[in-house]
Amino acid sequence: MLDAILLAAGRSTRLGSDFDKQLHRVGNKPLVIFSAELLLEHSDINRLVVVANEDRLDNIQSVFTEFSLTQYCDFVLGGEERQESVRNSLEAIQSDRVLLHEGARPVISHSLIERVLRPKSACVTPTIPVPFTVAVGQAKMEQELDRSSLHNIQLPQAFDTQKLVDAHSHAYSESFQATDDSALLFRMGHSVEFVEGEVTNIKVTYPTDLVLVEELLRERRTEQI
């Protein structure tokens, strides 16, 4: 059995300062609850560590109570940056391996979780191919990258807990910031194993993402009826 971290501390700045994407409802269910329920339905996951900002912690706890999930959850205060939020949550982890996910990625599947949990590498992350041309440069192209060797990294990710703790401690000591936890382990020389991700595993970042996620969740709900 293992713990899962569910990040719900995003500021939603690219969706509007007063909009909390974690609590946005589709069919009267908040996005963060879609993510939480899918994780808890997996037989290997028995506990969630939910990370929220101090000013929205009460609201997050309230919706978990509404959907009768608080008995499976511990709630942790997030930090100013994502990396600090993960570091804070690791203090509450009790299992040797940990799954890391985001409340803003509600369209995940049981098969995706299973693919991520099956390998026992230091880090396992789902990816999808990069389908477009990628170039390096500022005002002018300096280099074109070969997209066949590029990967769009997704969550959930699985980690050896102690290795993730050590990677965060090392990054903190050097004031190093990364946008993804797998990069912290790779920087420490650990293996980062790729598994097949899902195109529908969209992170709600922009308004167009929200439209797509709403439609995908409605389709899934229709299929289940």
Q: Which has the closest alpha carbon to 115: 186, 42, 50, 182? A: 42
**Per residue in 172-208, pLDDT tens?**
999 999 999 999 999 999 999 999 999 999 999 999 9
Distance CA 22, CA 40 (A): 17
Domain locations in the chain as residue ranges: 2-224
pLDDT of 38 reads 96
Question: Which residues are within 8 A (CB) of 69 and not within 5 positions of it... i.e. 6 or more apart?
Answer: 33, 36, 37, 40, 48
**Per residue in 38-81, pLDDT tens?**
999 999 999 999 999 998 999 999 999 999 999 999 999 999 89
What's the CATH number for 2-224? 3.90.550.10
| Coil, helix or strand at residue 67 | coil
SS (H, E, C) 41-60: CCCCEEEEEEEECHHHHHHH
pLDDT tier at 130, thresholds 50, 70, 90: very high
pLDDT tier at 220, thresholds 50, 70, 90: confident
